[in-house]
Structure 1
Amino acid sequence: MVETRARRRALTHRVRRGRFGGAARAAGGLRRRRRRHPKHRSLQRPGAELATGRRRLHGGGRGPVPHRVSATAATGRRTAGADGATARGRGRQYRDRLYAAPKNTNVQLLWYRTDLVAEPPQTWAEMIRTAQQLQAQGRTHRILTMGARYEGLVVLYNTLVASVGGRILNDAGDEVVLDEGAVQALELLKRFATSGVTSPSLSNAVEDPVRLEFQDGGGAFQLSWPYVYPALQEGAPELAPRVSRAGD
């Protein structure tokens, strides 16, 4: 018994002096911190990092978003109903102050060739009809966009649904509704894909190949993101002055 106690004391002494390396010293320090702060459970409970991060925000780390900016963010148009907006805001707020907000938005735009089309089409049907007229004249006519089975096709369908006033989900975003507008958008997507004025590779098309095809003069219209124009200015500066976007 005496020998066992002596060996235990010797082992403890060696751990405290660091004879067993960094891992043992770290374990010993962790135990000491727990003993010093028995009520401080952040060393043990999941989510402690989040709580610590919030304390840092409140205690002099990064400050909240200025009121003039947070007011704009709170009244922005990117809402799917009151419940959805509240859920998104809660994840960016701490103690009713906003600590994170999007710096910019990224929306799909209709780009078109001004040397081929005097004014941008106002409807999908008008765009398809205009492209078919250009095709009949033997001119550049294709409508280029993303049709592969990934995010690009989802965005295209969402755009079609929104343009006809349809809905896929309810306001709370927790129930599928698929109203008549959503069905009409599917019919419009089918007409678009089978109209003969899209790229033969539509079902495999993703962002950059679409951008490059338009940049190389292969399309009259392009449904894509804002980044394509600065890329066009750099890659095809002679074409860029003849390209505009709907709404300008």
Structure 2
Amino acid sequence: ADFTNCFRCLSRLPLPGSPDFEERLQEVTEYLLSQCSTVEELKKEYRPRMNPRQFQMIMMLMESNPQLAPALGRGFAAFSQEIERLEKSKELENVTDEDKKKENQAMWTAWLKTYVERLKKEADKVTDLTAANQRRKEVMNMTNPRFILRNYIAQNAIDAAEKGDFSEVRRVLEILQTPYSEDLDFGSLSQATAETSPPAATEDTSNSVESRTFVGQCYDGKPPSWSTDLRVT
């Protein structure tokens, strides 16, 4: 799940005993589940990245002389990460979306149960729930940002700037100047977000990068699936 969005959304949950607690708990649960990766997104995240020939060479080297691992430096680190990706990818082979949803539901439900118990201890110490909820929300929202400079947001701005359009750079700068704001008026900003456009069925897209277009606001939403292709250089 997306950490930034999940931490931010917890401020929406009032203290136990509040009139709308159960309703808000359901809303928060649904939001947290919406931030979880799908099976396809996970498969994409864990697909192999190393050159197959390089991977095989390091594999043979490690089998014949494992003591050389420290000398490989970054090469060994990349190799270890590739092994982890292969293991994760294998685990996902027979996992369905329904299986993943059930797992996410069970894990978040268990976590929220523990979190609610923590909130009950806080609620026991207050006499004015309304004031306590307001203060709690303010403190949490001043600590957990709504906006961060994600790779895909930066890439959108870069793509536009390379075409001579710097409006997205200015837009992102304006957003990042108030990363904790709940009052940012997206209507005053030009629509800008990233969505996936499906590739043509007749083309070989096994190694293609999905196209991107601006169609709405996604600065504080779940990152689009194509963002997993981005690598910081």
TM-score by length of 2: 0.20
Give the structure-1-normalised TM-score.
Answer: 0.19
Structure in which a larger fraction of residues adopt helix: 2
Counting strand residues as a fraction of each chain, which structure ranks higher? Answer: 1
Whichever of the two has the greater Rg, that structure is 1
